[in-house]
Homo-oligomer: A and B are copies of this chain.
Amino acid sequence: MTTRTATSRTRLSKEERRSQLLDLGVRLLSTRSLDELSIDLLAEEAGISRGLLYHYFGNKHDFHEAVVRRAADDLIAQTAPPVEGEPLHRLLVSMTAYLDYVDANEPGYRSLVKAASGGNDTLREIYDEARAALTDRIFREDAQGTLISETPHTRLLVRGWAAMAEELVLGWKADPQGVTRDEVLEMLVVSLPALVAALPSD
């Protein structure tokens, strides 16, 4: 995420300015839900007029779509596993980053999951893309197949595991009940190979 402030006086292209406003939108989303993120609020925080914002984002729907797409891209980028290393270690690094991301952006992330599962087709599509990127990566970036080899069964299982990871993290954030962060992390990491090992053999 950029550290430029939205009130920077530097002369920027329309694309750069739009991108800067999106960063601000994502930052605002880290502490509130999508429903609470209005163009009015963005205008106020950016110190510019609503009219100008409509120049960058056609309407509230387009604005929300752009912010959610940026948030999904951030999530994908931030949870990228390291290129090198043991598969389980790379999974640990990626899951640590996922937990960090949810920590830093809980309301927005919850809102993304909710919007994706709810009625809005565009938001669901963006979310599905993000989730697919996260799960596909487990196969793509594990070229040696030491952790998981790709079959229709493992694809389905990894998809299920991703849903479990989401529920584990959001459930734990909502009510930790004495379970520590390290324990959640370990549950996330050991669950995947355990599930693969338990798969019925062909």
Contact = CB atoms under 8 A, between A and B. Distances in A.
A166 interface: yes
A49 to B, nearest CB: 30
A85 interface: no
Residue with the greatest number of chain B CB neighbours at <10 A, chosen from A117, A160, A190: A160
A199 interface: yes
A119 B199 CA distance: 35
A183 interface: yes
A166 B167 CA distance: 11
Contact of A194 (B113, B165, B197): B197
Interface string A112-145: 0111111100000000000000000000000000
Contacts of A114: 117-119
Interface residues of A, number: 40
Contact of A113 (B117, B153, B168, B186): B117
Interface of A: 113-119, 152-153, 155-157, 159-168, 171-172, 177-179, 183-184, 186-187, 190-191, 193-195, 197-200
24 contacts: A114-B119, A115-B118, A116-B117, A118-B119, A119-B119, A153-B187, A156-B187, A157-B168, A157-B187, A159-B167, A159-B168, A160-B165, A160-B168, A160-B191, A161-B164, A162-B167, A163-B164, A163-B166, A183-B200, A190-B199, A190-B200, A191-B195, A194-B198, A195-B195
